[in-house]
Amino acid sequence: MIPKSTPAWPTTRSQGTEMRRADVCRSHHGWRPAAALTVIARVLTGGLLLSVLGACSRGDADTTRDATPESASARKASAARPTADSAAGGHSAEIVTLDSAAVRLGGIQVDAVTTITSTGLPVTGSITYDPNRVSHVGPRTDGRVLTLRANLGDRVSRGEVLAVLESPEVGQLRAEEREAEELVRIARENYAREQGLARQGISSRKELLDAEAELRRNQAALRSAESRLDVLGAEHDHSQGGRFSLTAPFAGSVVARDASPGGMATPADTLFTVADLSRVAIELDVFERDLARVRRGQPVAVTVTAYPGRTFQGRVAYLGEVLDPQNRTVEARVEIPNPDGALKPGMFATARIQVGGGGPALVVVPQDALQDVGGRRVVFVPGVRPGEFRPTPVEVGESLDGGRVVIRAGLAPGARVVVAGAFALRSELARAELSEAEH
């Protein structure tokens, strides 16, 4: 039995010590196992209770320390870490905070965005031949290629021989032409003789008229043979037999050749393509919503990827009358002088039709101000406090000369953005996010 004067459980460290001391004293009067086990249980229970109380005390102390203002070193470590800040509309935006030294080291510069008045309608298209300056050359009758006189890329003049072919039909027409020429010569001599006899009263009027009719029939047959040779593009040279030449219709370049010696050709075949590239065209697709602003004769500025710093000038020569029901566009053709042959058919081109002033003001930023963050196109704008920068998503429009980009949405005219050093802010933002992910 435990004496009633001794508490069943130690409530303080001193009480636990007194209980252990009393138990030791009683052990001098004799060893009792039950009493010994009771003492051991009390000691272990008292130690466990003291451990729990000590842990609670330490937890309160840690909480008190956490509630104190953070140290200068802790603030410095968290200065570059993105924090949550209340943004417009109740959303949160990431903020990068840098000190003045980091801003200078990153070359970060802030400036107000510029605006331009939309005087040009941006459209895209491809360079093609001027339809009035390209010709697909082929035979006008069946024939066999004997020789080729022009190669791919050759500069040719008007009437220059491109190839020589041979055709049975041409040979037959030349024979008919030669026969008609002889018949005309004979009929003309007979008619002249009849005229002389008629003046002498020897020949009758009927014989004179018959001679004249024969001459005119033979002359008509000759003209028919000559015309058929002209239609086939063959020369009136009887010594050539069935051979005839393909010639260039105008001065230009051989931009395509599909012929080989000995090959057969038909009127449906194109053996050569000759184009005058001193003037080319660009075919543009104008959207239905922009048709009211486009007129024939308007100037157009054209750029191509091959010459990024060069602008080619042209004018709208044609505006289609039919709307493409699928794309909701109308074809427009622009003629562009190309004296040095820099523009090649097939090139992709970007054009700006000068439709006049009075358009909406467009926000423009440098290309370096745009960054990709989390799959979005953003610019960095200054925060409320110095050294704070916030990524702001924007909708990017077309590129302009001078390394500028049009912003369709996300920035208001006059807004201040980071125009230099945006990449450093993006890198700092990515580094801070990676550091948080690791912790």
Task: Write the CA distances from 299 to 120, 202, 354, 355, 433, integer angstroms.
Answer: 10, 80, 6, 8, 50
Q: Return the pLDDT at 19.
A: 47
Q: Return the pLDDT at 356.
A: 63
Q: Return the pLDDT at 71.
A: 38
* Superfamily holding 275-354: Efflux pump adaptor protein, beta barrel domain (2.40.30.170)
| Contact indicator for 162, 254 with CB cutoff of 8 Å | yes
Q: Return the pLDDT at 122.
A: 83
112 Cβ contact partners less than 8 Å away, ≥ 6 residues apart: 414, 415, 416, 417
Residue ranges in the chain whose pLDDT is less than 50: 1-93
Q: Does domain 83-116+361-438 have CATH number 3.30.530.20?
A: no
Amino acid in position 433: E
Domain ranges of the chain: 13-67, 83-116+361-438, 139-269, 275-354
What is the rounded distance in angstroms from the CA atom of residue 113 to the CA atom of residue 416? 6
Q: Return the pLDDT at 413.
A: 86
Q: What is the pLDDT of residues 207-249, one digit of tens each?
A: 889 889 999 999 999 999 999 988 888 888 888 889 999 999 9
What is the rounded distance in angstroms from the CA atom of residue 204 to the CA atom of residue 344? 74
Q: What is the pLDDT of residues 301-352, one digit of tens each?
A: 999 999 988 899 999 999 999 999 998 999 999 999 999 999 999 999 988 8
Burial of 4: CB neighbours in 10 Å, binned 0-12, 13-18, 19+: exposed
Q: Return the pLDDT at 345.
A: 93
Q: Return the pLDDT at 387.
A: 83
Bridge-based pairing of strands 361-366 and 114-117 is antiparallel
Task: Write the CA distances from 147 to 39, 83, 262, 269, integer angstroms.
Answer: 125, 80, 8, 17
